[in-house]
Amino acid sequence: MRSSCVLLTALVALAAYYIYIPLPSSVSDPWKLMLLDATFRSAQQVSNLIHYLGLSHHLLALNFIIVSFGKKSAWSSARVKVTDTDFDGVEVRVFEGPPKPEEPLKRSVVYIHGGGWALASAKIRYYDELCTAMAEELNAVIVSIEYRLVPKVYFPEQIHDVVRATKYFLQPEVLRKYSVDPGRVGISGDSAGGNLAAALGQQFNQDTNLKNKLKVQALIYPVLQALDFNTPSYQQNMNTPILPRYVMVKYWVDYFNGNYDFVQAMIVNNHTSLDVDEASALRARLNWTSLLPTSITKNYKPVMQTTGNSRIVQEIPQLLDARSAPLIADQEVLQHLPKTYILTCEHDVLRDDGIMYAKRLESAGVEVTLDHFEDGFHGCMIFTSWPTNFSVGIRTRNSYIKWLDQNL
């Protein structure tokens, strides 16, 4: 009996040690976040073991775990019709909200899910619930794109998928089929989906053949650049769940089918050191000492290496491509972008990407709403239902939908 108690106590202690990580007191629901992070870390470790044994690629294994526990069929309710179909060969899930009696045509949002370009799905519960809520509360048609993921495809194929599906949807006959007002269509996405939405917005802005333009873009904690992994938010939140800096850098390397040997060098900005000529012209476009307010920069110092590794950008030139890093786009590209909403979270390595993009857009004359949540963490907006319901998740979702309601 005594040995059983000792064993149980040891197991509880080990579990607590595994789950506990130091978190700022200001983060929303800290113990719940620790449990969520521990669950995700466990899934990552299982997928890494599967990869090590040669059974599957670790990202395929991890996404199988995520989708297996969260996949939801296209189930319609009395208020929202949900259907799975494809737009020009790209799978989509369409959510048709109830029409307003006084408005025969509905507004619409094309939504792109997050997941590091490699994980999640438009068909998992988190995104199904988000898009259902958007369709119902906005009386709108929501098109959630099931773009192809790493490692089955790499950059820029994810962009090609979202561009192809969105262009198909914007055809007059397709908009008529779904009773959508061609002048009230927006693009949106979270995390890597926010990256793809921003890239799509910039591409559509330059497409003179596109008759129906986007009315708004709404970017939720978007990832927007891979040149500086030592912005104040990267330094402040380097070990913060659920997206530590090391994991974000690995997502970038995976996106480009690059070499993991470069990860540690990229973390200290060796890929954009002063001796890397390819990066020199782009540094001013994400100079956070001028783009971020002093309340954000605090006492953090830029990390700029004098000598680095020029081989990294030579082997992975996509790092400096504005299609992958919308924050470094030319000023002329930004000037005519639609009204923009950017949601950022304090406890997120990507916080400063969003804030800097808002500043650059404002400087280009774009109307921008920057919605910052002091207790928010990366990914929080999709966590709104039990057992992963966070107070900041509900508040961010409500704020996001409210902005869409007022501006779309």
DSSP code at position 115: S
Structural tokens at position 111: 């939504």
- Comparing C-alpha atoms, which of 252, 220, 256 is closest to residue 348? 220
Give mean pLDDT, residues 108-136. 98
Residue 96 region by backbone torsions, left for phi larger than 0, else alpha for psi between -120 and 50, else beta: beta
Structural tokens at position 168: 């198909």
Give mean pLDDT, residues 107-124. 98
pLDDT digits (tens, 9 = 90+) for 166-208: 999 999 999 999 999 999 999 999 999 999 999 999 999 888 7
Q: What local confidence, expressed as pLDDT, does residue 196 receive? A: 98
pLDDT digits (tens, 9 = 90+) for 67-101: 998 899 999 999 999 999 999 999 999 999 998 88
pLDDT digits (tens, 9 = 90+) for 382-403: 999 999 999 999 999 999 999 9
Extents of the domains making up the chain: 69-223+319-404
| Rounded Cα distance, 383 and 145, in Å | 20
Q: What is the mean pLDDT of the chain?
A: 94
Q: What local confidence, expressed as pLDDT, does residue 90 receive? A: 98
Give strand ranges (E) for 116-215.
140-146, 180-190
Percent of the chain exceeding pLDDT 90 equals: 88
| Rounded Cα distance, 72 and 121, in Å | 10
pLDDT digits (tens, 9 = 90+) for 365-375: 999 999 999 99
111: enclosing H helix or E strand: strand 106-112
**Could you tell me the pTM of the whole model?**
0.96
Give mean pLDDT, residues 91-118. 95
Q: What local confidence, expressed as pLDDT, does residue 251 receive? A: 98
The answer to whether the CB of 114 falls within 8 A of the CB of 127 is no
Count of all residues that appear for the chain in the document: 408
pLDDT above 50 for 25: yes
Going by DSSP bridges, is the β-strand pair 140-146/216-220 parallel, antiparallel, or unpaired? unpaired
| Rounded Cα distance, 285 and 329, in Å | 8
pLDDT above 60 for 11: no
Structural tokens at position 236: 């402040």
Give me the helices (H) in 207-310, please. Answer: 232-236, 245-255, 263-267, 277-280, 288-291, 294-297
List, in order, residues 6 or more apart from 368 with CB less than 8 Å away: 339, 340, 341, 342, 358, 361, 362
Amino acid at 110: V
Hey, which residues are catalytic here? 191, 348, 378
* Tokens 């774009």, located at residue: 366
Cis link prior to 98 (omega < 30° from 0)? no
pLDDT digits (tens, 9 = 90+) for 130-157: 999 999 999 999 999 999 999 999 999 9
Give mean pLDDT, residues 46-53. 93
Confidence of residue 2 (pLDDT cuts 50, 70, 90): low
Q: What local confidence, expressed as pLDDT, does residue 13 receive? A: 55
Q: Which CATH architecture has domain 69-223+319-404?
A: 3-Layer(aba) Sandwich (3.40)
Half-sphere exposure of 267 (CA within 13 A, CB side): 15
